[in-house]
Amino acid sequence: MLVFVFAKCLVMDFCGQILGNTFVMWCCDCLNGNLVLNKNLYNFYGDGRDYMAQIKTIDLKFKYGFPNFTKTANNIYLCGSQNLILSDIWAFWDYVIKKNGYEKDFMASLLEQAKNFYIAAEKSPVNSRPLLYYYSFLNFAKVMINLEKKYGKNVTYMHGVKERNNGRFVHSEITIEAIKNHIKNVSAELHRVLDSRTISTSLTLNLRELLSHCVGIHRTYCEIYNMKESFCKLMDIKLIKTGRIINLSAKVQCRPEQLTELVSIGYNVTQDENSFSWEESYRLRSNNITREGYYNFSQILRDKGIWYFIGNDGYTNYLSTNPGYRYSPEFIIYNTMFYLGSITRYHPYLFNDIFSDKEQWLMSEFLTTQPKQFLYLSTAKILSQNVLKAYAEF
């Protein structure tokens, strides 16, 4: 049996301001003595205007590196915050340093060291690469830190990381030292400028667990450790604004059993027949969307956990069913390279003992694929812009 229900209500905007009266009529089914909403037939002002029709839905552009790289402000303004397509990342950074103007000689010397170590590493045997790549990353990190913090050349920079191999890679650990005022621990400083996270007390991490969220080698990682893949690919990502509400939606490529895992971690993932969807929303302070709105929403998404990988077709995003060690790709790659560089420098004779045959394959994949990821992803994050590589494959 159908029952029609009429109601007179006040209409308010999102700030609570009264806009007028509305008359609502619902069509309900009467089931077992209970009224069950069937369809909202009418919703209009007293003069007949449809209130919901007054709220516009707008497709938003993905600006300021949203959602992966958004910062509150540009460290340097380039190309109107549009995508940057680079064929020579070192020449690009030389331009950035000159345009920024801060301590140009000091910054240029750091960049030169980063470039030379990187090129030398690419030409070296696999077992010799880690230390060269790490020294490249260390100097490159100082460039990025000074682009934002402007500490200059008259402060003391330290690695700020210690490693313990404990005889086997699966037991190996690193300890990242806390942020300090009188000296600059590069690892913690880089984490602060790239991820807006402050390491206030020493942080100890297991290397094997840390690599579980390294997107570029995840399939290899799962193969050698006999684990199920935890990354779920996002497709058809859309960003819309309705009134003051921004909504991000995406299709999720996952298995049915992963749905419960994603929901338990805090993702708003739902199933519709054989497909899965993810949605998250953020309420703006006003009807206008500003850079602050993009940043605040991106922080919500990154806190929940969203990972990214740059390939030939641009960026691919993922959710993760793994609740542990949810650090950014740049953080993982930088600190893993420190660990590998320390083994190469201090214990090169232990390389075959620390790593099993399968783990040596994993390290080879890491050293072959992840250095370029670090360069491009960290550049995108410090500049708050998507950065793509032109005319070459990743």
Instruction: Please give the angle made by the CA atoms of 364, 377 and 188, to the nearest 5 degrees.
Output: 90
Indicate if the pLDDT at residue 392 is higher than 70: no
DSSP string covering 194-262, please?
Answer: HH-----S-EEEEHHHHGGG-GGGHHHHHHHTT----EEEEEEEEEEEETTEEEEEEEEE--HHHHHHH
C-alpha Rg value of the chain to the nearest Å? 25
Q: pLDDT digit string (tens) for 261-300?
A: 999 999 999 999 889 999 999 999 998 999 999 999 999 9
Q: pLDDT digit string (tens) for 296-341?
A: 999 999 999 999 999 988 999 999 999 999 999 999 999 999 999 9
Is residue 378 packed enough to be buried (19+ CB in 10 Å), middle (13-18) or exposed (0-12)?
A: buried
Indicate if the pLDDT at residue 33 is higher than 60: no
Q: Which tokens sit at 162?
A: 């210690």
Mean pLDDT calculated for residue range 350-364: 92
Cα–Cα dist 113/341, whole Å: 16
Q: Provide the pLDDT for residue 394.
A: 64
Indicate if the pLDDT at residue 46 is higher than 70: no
Mean pLDDT calculated for residue range 102-106: 96
Mean pLDDT calculated for residue range 57-75: 92
Q: Provide the pLDDT for residue 24.
A: 46
Point out the least confidently predicted range of 130-134, 212-216, 345-349, 375-379: 345-349
pLDDT band with cut points at 50, 70 and 90 for residue 189:
very high
Could you tell me what percent of the chain has a pLDDT over 90? 75
* Mean pLDDT score across all residues of the chain: 88
Q: Which tokens sit at 28?
A: 């309900």
pLDDT band with cut points at 50, 70 and 90 for residue 47:
very low
Q: Which residue has the higher pLDDT, 224 or 36?
A: 224
Q: Provide the pLDDT for residue 54.
A: 57
Q: Provide the pLDDT for residue 16.
A: 43
Sign of CA dihedral 379, 147, 186, 69: negative
Q: Which residue has the higher pLDDT, 22 or 212?
A: 212
Overall residue count recorded for the chain in this entry: 394
Indicate if the pLDDT at residue 6 is higher than 80: no
Point out the least confidently predicted range of 4-8, 74-78, 147-151: 4-8
Indicate if the pLDDT at residue 15 is higher than 90: no
319 in Cβ contact with 231 (< 8 Å) = yes
Q: Provide the pLDDT for residue 348.
A: 85
Mean pLDDT calculated for residue range 215-225: 97
Nearest CA among 339, 333, 345 for reference residue 372: 333
Indicate if the pLDDT at residue 26 is higher than 80: no
Indicate if the pLDDT at residue 9 is higher than 70: no
Indicate if the pLDDT at residue 42 is higher than 50: no
Q: Provide the pLDDT for residue 349.
A: 85
Indicate if the pLDDT at residue 260 is higher than 70: yes
Q: Which tokens sit at 313?
A: 């077709």
Indicate if the pLDDT at residue 95 is higher than 60: yes
391 in Cβ contact with 87 (< 8 Å) = yes
Nearest CA among 299, 54, 104 for reference residue 195: 299
Quote the pTM value. Answer: 0.86
